[in-house]
Amino acid sequence: MNRRANEAGSTVVYMARHPLRKKFVRDWRLLLMFLPVLIYYLVFCYLPMVGIVMGFEDFRMGSGFAGLFTSKWVGLQWFKQFFSSVFAWRLIRNTFLLSFYSLIFGFPIPIIFAIAITQLRAKRFGKVAQVITYLPYFISTVVVVGMMTNFLSPSSGIINQMIVRMGGKAVNFMSDPHWFRRLYVISGSWQTFGFNSIIFVAAIMGIDPELYEAMNVDGASRWQKIIHLVLPMISETIILLLIMTLGNLLNVGFEKVYLMYSPAVYETGDVISTYVYRQGIENHSYGYASAVGLFYSAVGFVFVVTSNWLSRRMTGSSLW
Amino acid sequence: MKKITRVLSLALALMLALCAVGFAESLNLAELPLTTEEGAAVSILAMNSWYSTVDLSDATLLNEIASRAGVTINWNLIDPTVYSDSVSPMLAAGQDLPDILQMPDLDLNMDYLSSGMLEPLDTHFDIMPNYVAFLEKYPNIKAMLTAVDGHIYYVPQTVVTNNYQPVMMLNMPWLEKLGLEAPTTLDDFVAYLRAIKDADMNGNGEADEVPMSVMSAFLPYMFGPAFGLDLVSGFYADDEGVVHYAAYEKEAYKAYLTFLHGLYEEGLLETEFTSLNRDQITARCANDQTGATYDYSWQMSTLYSAQYPNYDGTVGIIAGAAPLSGEHAGFYVGRNPVSSVFGINAKANNIELAVKFLDYAMSEEAQDLYVWGMEGLTYEVDADGNRHYLPRCTEDTIWYQGLGINAPNMPSQQSTPATDVLLADWHVQNDRTFEEPYIRAPFPTVYSTPDEAAVSSMYMVDIDTYVNERAVAFISGYADIEAEFDSYIATLESMQIGELLKVRQAQYDRYLASLK
């Protein structure tokens, strides 16, 4: 921490001495490289925010961008409508629980996997295992959901055939509300744990071998090495990724839910983003959909800020 | 209802794509060409062919219409399966839209026509002789298309209403084998299903028979009427003119759900009924595995019966039967005549030309092209002056569709006689005997006033969602009907179903008044 503080200090001194223009001249190559990123964020993230205003008005069809300034102002009407809807609580609960379970079950697995793989003696086997586990990450969501539908089909799916062979009763996994969250979380973890473990593997590889040797000299067991050396050394990486995941907590994958759900599982599967889609795109209630979307973003924002604050309080490191 | 509409629309489209339109003499009331201006063009936003391998942007018949009119058409054609979802945002944005717009829906909430983005067509009726003649001929369509402000904004694409609608189909050889008459009541029907379940009907030594193969979207069509419910329209009026919402009928709807749950428990309605699709049913027909289905009549001879190796085209194997009756006499639900509407962009560069072109596109001359195509290309005239389609029309579907026949992107009109010629004789007979006499008109489509539209768009989507998901839950036993039906009704009430019923009642009364 000290070294970092010193660096920060010297930057402050540097900035005080050099006016802005000089820095531009000095760093123009870096700034040029940064430019596409800036444009991307302005065009795709900041500019569309103007549309938030739709959440407070009765948007007039066909009026386009100008309509944002000419449509009838309705204040908080859409928000009132949403919170008086019988679905409001269910949507919030589903969105939150789906994300929460994904985090609880999805986050530790890559860490455990990364530790396991780096502790392996058979290095070649470890490499092969790593490749095999991160390949599913590159399968598109549509294909994954298609595979699930096929494998889990009550009549022809391999899983149900096994259940029936063993004397059980076929389960209609894809249209049973009890199963929606489990399927979503399990398939999600399966798809991403290999890929997500890469960064942890890298962190573990970065640990100075001398530390291991020191522990060997002290006669530490493999388990003790994991607890007292590996975990503390990668804790900063874990925290950083945890904050980033928390920030995205409410960002449940719209595509995947949309592909997986049907009226039969709305009870557990319908989330805010799919509801916004049905209201906005299918029902053309652009104002209402924007209002619900805005509420959703506001909650997401609170999550990011809170997790960042928590992390700074608890570990001393944070994103800002 | 949206989902159901989408499922059905594919079937509908198959019909639409093949069904033909009026036999009237070639007649065109407008002066051709419409313009003498060099390089005159009209741009059109519309649906592409329902055949995914067919592109209508360079279709022979549509090019012919354009050249007779003296214009070039700049098409913006969009896949019909995603038409609504892709076009709605384009229209909402309202930027750089083409001259003629095929709307994503019938605009019953008047979202588009009240926004000022569309040209009122009645102000141009002096240059729309063909359309004016059409409206005089069909006052019911005129009543439907007249907006609350008194203007007419749309030109319709129309479909047949009382024929070739969704119908129950039974496996005729199996009935014969079992020595049964075609069931006409729920009890007889269940007895038929049980008989199939217990017997090896196709004689292959395996218990692979599925008594009934019905896609979930058709269950309301099939079983609702026996309980006196028109679940297809959702809202319906009784004999006294009082409007009801089918899924809010405390006694009848509960009985309907209980009946279906019984079928599900007994294994007569398959576990996967929510995901069953037409391909699966077709495969079951090919393997002679199923005893009953329900689909658009069109599939009866062209798809399902055709799967059987012993089908010779003279006798139906999977054939239509009368609707099932229960405590109420059964009926089939017909269709409203307007299937799609075309409007004119109020910001179009040359409104007059667009108006003239749209008018010409629905003239009888143009209709004749959509139906018959051109002499020598698609049909020939025999010595008696009768037209016959050339063999290639049936042999090479992709070529035939690619000509722009029965164009889904034009204001074409279906008719029953023109559909008849395309189907086997037994199928036509079947339609007249078992379908037409039982057809009941659906709830009329009527424009909403702004207040009514506000109520509809605020509550209807949520109610649809809730009704759909509860229906599946009750039928599959995930929710217990006895224990939870009352709270279902209470929830519907809290979702303002009462307000919606008031709105629909007012609209229905208005509709009746407009017919007088």
Minimum CA–CA partner of B465 in chain A = A263
On the question of pLDDT at B346 being above 90, the answer is yes
For the segment B224-278, what is each residue's pLDDT rounded down to a tens digit?
999 999 999 999 999 999 999 999 999 999 999 999 999 999 999 998 888 888 9
B495 vs A: CB within 8 A: yes
Taking the CA of residue B85 and the nearest CA in chain A, the distance in Å comes to 6
Taking the CA of residue A291 and the nearest CA in chain B, the distance in Å comes to 14
B92 vs A: CB within 8 A: yes
- Average pLDDT over every residue of B100-108: 93
- Assess whether the previous peptide bond of B309 is cis (omega < 30° from 0): no
Domain boundary among B362, B392, B414: B414
Question: Is residue A51 domain-resident?
Answer: no
Interface of A with B in 87-126 (CB under 8 A): 87
Q: Same domain for B321 and B354?
A: no
Give the pLDDT band (50/70/90) at residue B24. very low
- The reported pLDDT for the residue numbered B2 is 45
Check CB contact under 8 Å for B117 and A155. Answer: no
How many domains are there within chain B? 3
Check CB contact under 8 Å for B274 and A67. Answer: no
Residues of chain A neighbouring B461 (CB-CB closer than 8 A): 278-279, 282-283, 285
Interface of B with A in 450-489 (CB under 8 A): 457-458, 461-462, 465-466, 468-469, 471-473, 476, 478
Give the pLDDT band (50/70/90) at residue B185. very high
Q: Same domain for B222 and B312?
A: yes
Longest Cα–Cα distance of chain A, Å, equals 79
- The reported pLDDT for the residue numbered A18 is 64
Structure tokens at B205: 């030594």
The enclosing domain of A199 has a CATH number of 1.10.3720.10
Question: Is residue B443 domain-resident?
Answer: no
Q: Mean pLDDT in chain A? A: 86
Domain boundary among B414, B439, B462: B414
Minimum CA–CA partner of A77 in chain B = B458
DSSP B143-154: HHHB-TTS-B--
How many domains are there within chain A? 1
Among B93, B117, B274, beta carbon nearest to A175: B274
Q: Same domain for B214 and B310?
A: yes
Size of interface A-B (CB pairs under 8 A): 100
Structure tokens at B332: 């089939």
Check CB contact under 8 Å for B94 and A62. Answer: yes
CB A287 within 8 A of CB A227: no
Question: Is residue A2 domain-resident?
Answer: no
Q: Same domain for B52 and B114?
A: yes
Residues of chain B neighbouring A60 (CB-CB closer than 8 A): 115
Taking the CA of residue A88 and the nearest CA in chain B, the distance in Å comes to 11
Give the pLDDT band (50/70/90) at residue A1. very low
Among A55-64, A225-234, B110-119, the minimum mean pLDDT is found in: A55-64
- The reported pLDDT for the residue numbered B3 is 47
Q: Mean pLDDT in chain B? A: 89
Q: Same domain for B191 and B261?
A: yes
Q: Same domain for B364 and B267?
A: no
Q: Same domain for B149 and B238?
A: no
What is the rounded distance in angstroms from the CA atom of residue B67 to the CA atom of residue B75? 15
Residues of chain B neighbouring A177 (CB-CB closer than 8 A): 473, 478
Instruction: Name the residue with tokens 């986050």.
Output: A107
Question: Is residue B324 domain-resident?
Answer: yes
Q: Same domain for B261 and B289?
A: yes
- The reported pLDDT for the residue numbered A61 is 80
On the question of pLDDT at A199 being above 50, the answer is yes
Among B457, B458, B461, beta carbon nearest to A278: B461
A81 vs B: CB within 8 A: yes
Structure tokens at A67: 């309509």
Query: Which uninterrupted H or E stretch holds A153?
Result: none
Mutate to test the interface with A, among B280, B290, B462, B470 (most CBs of A within 10 A): B462
Q: Same domain for B189 and B327?
A: yes
The enclosing domain of B371 has a CATH number of 3.40.190.10
> What domain range includes position B355?
2-162+337-414
Q: Same domain for B9 and B152?
A: yes
- The reported pLDDT for the residue numbered B25 is 44
- The reported pLDDT for the residue numbered A14 is 55
Cross-strand partners of B375: B379
What sign has the CA pseudo-torsion A237, A243, A244, A249? Answer: positive
Check CB contact under 8 Å for B476 and A278. Answer: no
Exposure letters A75-96 (e unless 16+ CB within 10 A, then b): eebbbebbeebebbebbbebbb
Minimum CA–CA partner of A171 in chain B = B271
B309 vs A: CB within 8 A: no
Query: Which uninterrupted H or E stretch holds B164?
Result: none
For the segment A33-76, what is each residue's pLDDT rounded down to a tens digit?
999 999 999 999 899 888 889 899 888 887 777 888 888 898 89
CB B193 within 8 A of CB B269: no
Share of chain A above pLDDT 70, in %: 93
For the segment B124-148, what is each residue's pLDDT rounded down to a tens digit?
999 999 999 999 999 889 988 999 8
**What does R_g of chain A's alpha carbons equal in angstroms?**
25
**If DSSP states are collapsed to H, E and C, what string results for A165-209?**
HCCCCCCCHHHCHHHHHHHHHHHHHHHHHHHHHHHHHHHHHCCCH
Among B88, B272, B462, beta carbon nearest to A172: B272
What is the rounded distance in angstroms from the CA atom of residue A231 to the CA atom of residue B333? 67
Q: Same domain for B34 and B102?
A: yes
Check CB contact under 8 Å for B117 and A62. Answer: yes
Among A90-99, A266-275, A276-285, B8-17, the minimum mean pLDDT is found in: B8-17
Among A14-28, A85-99, B172-186, B374-388, the minimum mean pLDDT is found in: A14-28
Check CB contact under 8 Å for B491 and A86. Answer: yes
Question: Is residue B146 domain-resident?
Answer: yes
Taking the CA of residue B122 and the nearest CA in chain A, the distance in Å comes to 21
More confident residue, A39 or B446: A39
A63 vs B: CB within 8 A: yes
First vs last C-alpha separation in chain A: 15
A59 vs B: CB within 8 A: yes
Question: Is residue A22 domain-resident?
Answer: no
Reduced to 3 states (helix: H, G, I; strand: E, B; else coil), residue B277 is coil
Question: Is residue A173 domain-resident?
Answer: yes
Other C-beta atoms within 10 Å of B280: how many? Answer: 17
What is the rounded distance in angstroms from the CA atom of residue B214 to the CA atom of residue B274? 9
Residue B393 has, within 13 A of its CA and on its CB side, a CA count of 23
On the question of pLDDT at B19 being above 50, the answer is no
Question: Is residue B442 domain-resident?
Answer: no
Residues of chain B neighbouring A266 (CB-CB closer than 8 A): 465, 468-469
What is the rounded distance in angstroms from the CA atom of residue A284 to the CA atom of residue B87? 11
- The reported pLDDT for the residue numbered A70 is 84
What is the rounded distance in angstroms from the CA atom of residue A47 to the CA atom of residue A65? 11
- The reported pLDDT for the residue numbered B27 is 65
B494 vs A: CB within 8 A: yes
> What domain range includes position A153?
62-315
